[in-house]
Amino acid sequence: MAEIAQEGPEDYHEVEALYDLCFAPGREALSSYRLRDGVAPQADLCLIARGRAGEVAGAIRTWPVRIGRHGALLLGPVAVHPTRQGEGLGGLLIFEVIARARTAGHPRMMLVGDAPYYSRFGFERLDGVIMPPPTNPERVLGIALAPGAWEGLRGEVARAAGDGSAMTD
């Protein structure tokens, strides 16, 4: 269907072009981008799906964030080229990132997105986990990669880097 690979520096502009094509203009004004500003992405969890001609047909990126002293992964953006949507590429990329994150020992992952789409991967509404405004709380979703990893975890989601404070997991 497509070849999955880790995004490399040489892929950056092609992935950005795909995101520009798939999202409304001004995507970088979304609150989730404030959590990514100045923070390096989780490189091993940024994947691309290449089509037969070598083109980037789908892409997914992941960033570290924190809730208090607890680390989490922020999934997204994920996008599939309009000519390739509905073939399962988006699902393939999301399942692959979840599997790699679990293998790497990350306890929890979250995203801002449509529950009807992401529930199929195991994402559920996160009560009390607050994204920077304006974010609809109904769209704040999470998946535990280790049992009970979201239990009792509440608070504001913040940038992973910048204030030098320690994290417990």
Ligand X SMILES: CC(C)(COP(=O)(O)OP(=O)(O)OC[C@H]1O[C@@H](n2cnc3c(N)ncnc32)[C@H](O)[C@@H]1OP(=O)(O)O)[C@@H](O)C(=O)NCCC(=O)NCCS
Contacting positions for ligand X (CB under 6 A): 22-23, 78-80, 85-91, 113-114, 116-117
Measured from the CB atom, the residue of 44 and 96 that comes closer to ligand X is: 96
CA distance 40 to 162: 11
CA distance 85 to 39: 29
Measured from the CB atom, the residue of 58 and 64 that comes closer to ligand X is: 58
Residue 16, classified by CB atoms within 10 Å of its CB into exposed (0-12), middle (13-18) or buried (19+), is exposed
Residue of minimal Cβ distance to ligand X: 90
CA distance 73 to 36: 11
Measured from the CB atom, the residue of 89 and 143 that comes closer to ligand X is: 89
Q: Considering the complex, what minimum distance in angstroms separates the CB of residue 152 from ligand X?
A: 26
Q: Considering the complex, what minimum distance in angstroms separates the CB of residue 138 from ligand X?
A: 13
Q: Considering the complex, what minimum distance in angstroms separates the CB of residue 114 from ligand X?
A: 4
Measured from the CB atom, the residue of 24 and 53 that comes closer to ligand X is: 24
